[in-house]
Each structure stands twice: as C-alpha cells, then as structure tokens.
A and B are shown apart, each in its own frame.
Chain A
C-alpha cells in the first residue's frame, strides 16, 4: 500500500474526481467520462510527446490548486497541463472555452477541403466529429485553400496533404515505432507539409500504423481506399498468432469479404496495440483470423448504422411515454388556411418578415 501513488482531487465542470499525482487535466477528464472530456485532435496517449498543438482541448482553469486558488490567466491545453490538488477546471461550461474552440474548428477547416462525401475517412474522422460537436455551421473564409499534389509514401500508404491538419501524430508514430525515421514535417507555417525525405518511401514493418493514428483522411490505406464507405462494413474483433505484433486486430467485413484490417481502438479513438504490416495488409482472408465476436460500436456512431436489429432501432419506451404525457396535443382546430391572406396583410406579419428575412427568404421569392 505504501507504494501507491497519492491521489489528488480535481473538479471538472462541477464533477469531482480523484486522480494519481502527475495526471494531466485531460486524463482526469477522461476518467470522468465523455461528457466532460475535452476533444483532442493531436493528443494521442500512446505516443510520447504528442499534444499541445491543435489547441482543441483548451480549458479554463478557475482555480490553480488548493494552495494557490488563483485562476490561470490564459486558457490552457488540457492534454499537457498537469492537474493540481484542488484544481477547478471549466470545460464545456465556460463560454470563453466554447468560443475559443469554435475558433479552433474554424482555423482547422480553413485549409481542410470540405469534401467529406468523397473522403475515405468520413464516418470515422475525428475532425468531422470535432467540427460537428464544437463548431459553427457557417464559414467565413472565402479565399483559396492551400493545395498540394497527392504523394506516394510507401507502396501501401497514400498521403493526401490537402487534408492534413498537421497534428504530428504520424511523425511521432514513425519516430517511436520504426527504426529509421524517413518522414517528418517540411516547410513552415500553413505551407508546412508531412513528407518523406526526397520522396523516400516509408519502409518498416510498422509504418502502416500512421494510417490508424491519422485523425483525418490524409493518410489512407491503399489496399482499402474507395472500396467501401465505413458504415457499410462490419467491424469484428479477431486475433492471430503473429511473431511481430500482438495480433489483436479489428477486421472489417463487407458481405463475406474482409476489406481491411485495423488496430483496435479504445473509446477515445486511440490504438490499443499497434499492429504490423503483415497483419494489416496481407491477411485478408477470414481463414487467417480467429474471430472473437462483433466489435463494440458506440450507438451514436455512424458505423452503427444498419448494424442493429429492427427492434433496437425503435425509440425507447420511455421517450414515447414522455412525449405522450409531457407535450400538448396539436390543436388542429385553429383556422390557419382561411385566414392566411389576412395574416399576410397584417403589420405584425410584415414586421416579422423583415426581422427574419433570412429564414423566410424562400417564401419571399415566391411572391
């Protein structure tokens, strides 16, 4: 018991949690659960040194610690800031944080092509989730985006630099998993790009993992690209006896065919065990694998589409009950149609039309 790491108390969005000394705010928030965990585009727990770059996980520290309860002057990146005893953090409840996060979404989407319908990552894209949950629906950037030519880095990996958000995850992966580092970031500013040195190809048994860590569709699997949308395929947990890696993978079926193999990911989209290229690219038959059973998919994930039986798709009973008891029935006796012309002539209606010009534009054009 003496070797146990002492615990500290952290409050995030009003919820208290005790975490070991040395945890970051992000780790503490993730322990509480997805409702308070800040989004992360660059932070990747298995990769040492990652984080702090995308600024998606900015939070407001309202009280630094028990001893020094002053708030921190700036928003801090929760993935790299250590938690202190008695720290009070505001995440989704702080308007400043919400505003800053909207800004980050906007910044990340400036140079990211908004072509999700043709992108291979759609459906399992972290940026898509992040923008959907934290962003605004309109864009204000009207200039030209920066563009690059698609580049081949390795015989199995395709790099689409246009989509890259420079999270550096793949750079850390290549650094930490492979022996010889041949790819990194070149150039600077918004023209910085991930590339291999003088178009060297990636050559290592583990380079395929850069596909898994990429949060967007910048690095894709050439053996899988454009074969299927992700929500048409069924993920199944499987394993095999591999002398290079743990062999624990997720295989994706389309019908009876294995169309791709990926590493298993946890709740936060982080790889649990990195897998080798043989498992990833070569073993594409059911007979290569020992099937464990269907992977767990979050209910709200688009991948869960068409995966559950009809009954599970129905609305839960309580929701229907709630609706039946708590909402008024629509009063159909009101005379909308008869009085429509009169209403349209009234001053109130005209004032309303002017006020909500934007929303009524269609009706206006009909007149």
Chain B
C-alpha cells in the first residue's frame, strides 16, 4: 500500500519553497499549464469528481459534487472563495500549509477558478494570521509577474483576480455563509439555507466555498488524474489528509497521512506521533478538532464491531455517535490520564459560548447555559441533576440551529458525559477533592 505518498507536503521542506522560483522548479504551476492549455473546465470538474476527494474543512462533503451543484446562469459572475478561516481549537493544518508553501494554494485557486469559471476569487484568511496574509499577497504578486495570474493567463484569454481578505477573527466566519456575509462587509451571521451558496452566495451570485486543503489538492488531481487520486486511501475516503496533532504525545505537529492508516500505527509508530509521553497512558482522544465527540482510549483503537479503527471518514464515525466520532478538520488532540475531562469540556464549552454569533436562540442562550453549568460543576457547586440537565440542553440545541455551530457546541458536552459520566459524578460528589489544583479523577481505586 502506498502508505507514504505525499500530495501536499512532498516539497514542504525544500529550502525557499515559499518563493516562486523554487516552487516552479519542483514542478509547481504545471497543473495550471495543463489545465488551461489542454483541458476544458468541465473536464476538470469531471476529474475532481472522479478523484472522490471530500471537503477537508470538517463536514466531508464530496468536492466534485459541490462543484457540479454550482448554478451557471447567463451573465452572472461566479465566485470561488477559499475558506482559510481556520480557528477550531486543535486544528492548525491550513495555517502550516499556507505559511510554508503558499504557491500550492495559489495554484489550486487558479485551476479551481478556471474549472468553475470564476474571474474573481477570494481567500478569506483568519484575522489573527496577518503575517500569512502578507505571505499570500507576496506569492500572488510573484505569480502575477510570471503570468499565471491576472489578465489573459498564459495567453488563453482567461482572466483571474485573486484577493486575499483578512477576517475579523471570529470562529463563526468559518461557516460558509457567515464567511460570505463577512466578505461582503456585513456582520458575520450565518444565512438561512436554502438558498445555498451554490445558487446565491457572494453578492447573490453562485459561489463555491472550499477549504484550503481541498483546494491545495486540486493541482495534484490535474497532474495525475482523478482516477489515480481515487486509488489512494480506502473506500470513499480517498487521498491524503493533513492531521494537526497536539496534546500529550511525543511528536506533535502536522502530518500528512494516507486515509485508511490504522489508528494504532498513527498513534504509536515513531514515524508519526510516537505514542503518549513517557510514563503516562492514553485517556481520551478528540480526533477531528474540538467540535467532534470525544472518544475514550478503548473505543478509539477499536470500532463498535471490535475491528481496528482506521483514520478515515467511515471508520472514525463507525457506529454513530455512541461509539464513534468524526474526522472533522483533522485537529487531533490526545489526552493522557492527567487531563480532567470536566475541565476540558468546560474549556471547549467556554469557547463556543464566546464564539456563538447570537443570531438564533438555542445556540445563543444554550451555549452560555452549558458553559455556566459546567463552570459550576468544575468549581465544586454542581448537583447530580446538572448532568442530566446538560444532556437535555445539548439535545435541544443539536439540530435546531441555523448553522452547525450549535451542533459543534453540543457534541463535545454530550459525548463527554456519555463516556466519562463517572468523572462528572465524582466532581459533584467530592467537590473538595475535585477543586484542588490539578485534581483528576483516576478511577474507582483512587476513590477507595
């Protein structure tokens, strides 16, 4: 099995890769040449469809399908928007990709825009990453000077203007319709759907919003063909995925893995994370960024049927939420036994309370409520009924909101209670011990 194939990070360690010359020498911008000179936009869409690549931003929606939904009315401009508003706790892959190899994203943007017929495309970068904005702008200038951007690209008559837009630093602007609102200069509130952005998006025109990593994959798909891409990976999880690993592991960082890699190998081999830090053992894992359900260690290595779990969309979500989680955006957080799950859940919950846009009532009020209840439990003032209250509130938020932020706020809380209920109960029954600095529930033997 081609386990070590690198699509995005093959040349990432080449010195000077952020400059146009070095990137061009490593085969960069070949995809632009091939696409614009030899392929029609429909052919590119077809290739992307064949590749089976799924959106890397979290939801995992097939990218080719999304592209084919784009409405194409006459006389209305179409837009491609790259979602680089990566701000989920635990996810930092796009940031790494953009700052290390900005031209890969630019190249991807050019071929994707050409495929979709967009003459103006946007990269919406998270506001905190101003230095990345400058890196991208410099890369755009270089590409423009070389004739790969701007008017009449490579003499084909195709024009493309690429705009880098820093956001204000709100997590909610990573939701695609909120991102479009923000890009239009309005308050970043998610829109009601339908209409979807593919019909009415940016400036009421058909728009495709894709994640940085998804777009960065397209040059490879053009160069090698969609069928070749579909061979990588397992089942419907094709290609490679960037995983940003953090937490109590020996080698934290960004890894490009082939989808279908066994979880055990990813976690424990020295090539990847190298296992949990010495003298400790794994307690829980958040596999795809803070919004996905947390998994305890024993469920993490094995699926519901007792098979080995793989790093793929299907295997991770196996069994639904009772025993599964999601690949999400690839923000892999490992926690060893020194982590207090209650405090961790409170911390996540605090984040979602802070980032809720305040538009629809379940999310606006519910996230704050959950945060307050968790704060109370963590600080030793909880009651047993608070646990059921949290489950009930999370159920009433989930699925009833305009955008997925409500779900993202509800899942971590619901799953933490599902898998670590004894720890919550310990916090409530033993407030004096639980509120000591660094106190962590270690299981029944500690209590006795």
Residues of A within 8 A of B (CB): 41, 51-56, 58, 74-75, 77, 80, 82, 99-100, 102-104, 106-108, 110-111, 140-141, 143, 146, 165-166, 168, 184-185, 187-192
Q: Which of A54, A99, A102, A189 contacts B368 (CB 8 A)?
A: A189
Question: In the complex, are the beta carbons of A140 and B389 less than 8 A apart?
Answer: yes
Q: Which of B20-28, B269-277, B396-404 contacts A (4 or more CB under 8 A)?
A: B396-404
Interface CB pairs A-B, < 8 A, 22: A41-B361, A52-B192, A52-B360, A55-B362, A55-B400, A58-B400, A75-B400, A99-B396, A102-B396, A107-B364, A108-B361, A165-B361, A166-B358, A166-B359, A189-B353, A189-B358, A189-B367, A190-B353, A190-B358, A190-B368, A192-B357, A192-B364
- Supply 9 further A-B pairs (C-beta < 8 A) apart from A77-B192, A111-B365, A189-B356: A53-B361, A55-B401, A74-B400, A104-B396, A187-B358, A189-B358, A190-B358, A190-B365, A192-B357
Kindly state the separation between the CA atoms of A168 and B357 in the bound complex, as whole angstroms. 13
Consensus secondary structure, chain B interface: helix
Shortest Cβ gap from A262 to chain B (Å): 26
Shortest Cβ gap from B172 to chain A (Å): 8
Task: Tell me if B138 counts as interface (CB < 8 A to partner A).
Answer: no
- Number of A-B contacts defined by CB within 8 Å: 96
Interface size class, chain B: 20 to 34
Question: In the complex, are the beta carbons of A103 and B359 less than 8 A apart?
Answer: no
Shortest Cβ gap from A40 to chain B (Å): 12
Closest 7 pairs between A and B when the two form their complex, measured CB to CB: A103-B396, A192-B358, A107-B365, A52-B192, A189-B356, A190-B368, A143-B372
Kindly state the separation between the CA atoms of A189 and B361 in the bound complex, as whole angstroms. 9
The listed residue with most A CB atoms (<10 A of its CB), out of B170, B369, B389, B402, is B369
Residues of B within 8 A of A (CB): 170, 172, 187, 192, 194, 353-362, 364-369, 372-373, 376, 389, 393, 396-397, 399-402
Smallest CB-CB separation from B401: which chain A residue? A55
Smallest CB-CB separation from A107: which chain B residue? B365
Q: Which residues of B contact A110 (CB under 8 A)?
A: 365, 368-369
Q: Which residues of A contact B361 (CB under 8 A)?
A: 41, 53-56, 104, 107-108, 165-166
Q: Which residues of A contact B372 (CB under 8 A)?
A: 143
Question: In the complex, are the beta carbons of B356 and A107 less than 8 A apart?
Answer: no
Q: Which residues of B contact A51 (CB under 8 A)?
A: 192
Question: In the complex, are the beta carbons of B396 and A80 less than 8 A apart?
Answer: no
Smallest CB-CB separation from A103: which chain B residue? B396
Shortest Cβ gap from B383 to chain A (Å): 10
Smallest CB-CB separation from A41: which chain B residue? B361
Smallest CB-CB separation from B402: which chain A residue? A52
Question: In the complex, are the beta carbons of B170 and A107 less than 8 A apart?
Answer: no
Smallest CB-CB separation from B373: which chain A residue? A143
Q: Which residues of A contact B187 (CB under 8 A)?
A: 184-185
Kindly state the separation between the CA atoms of A80 and B194 in the bound complex, as whole angstroms. 8
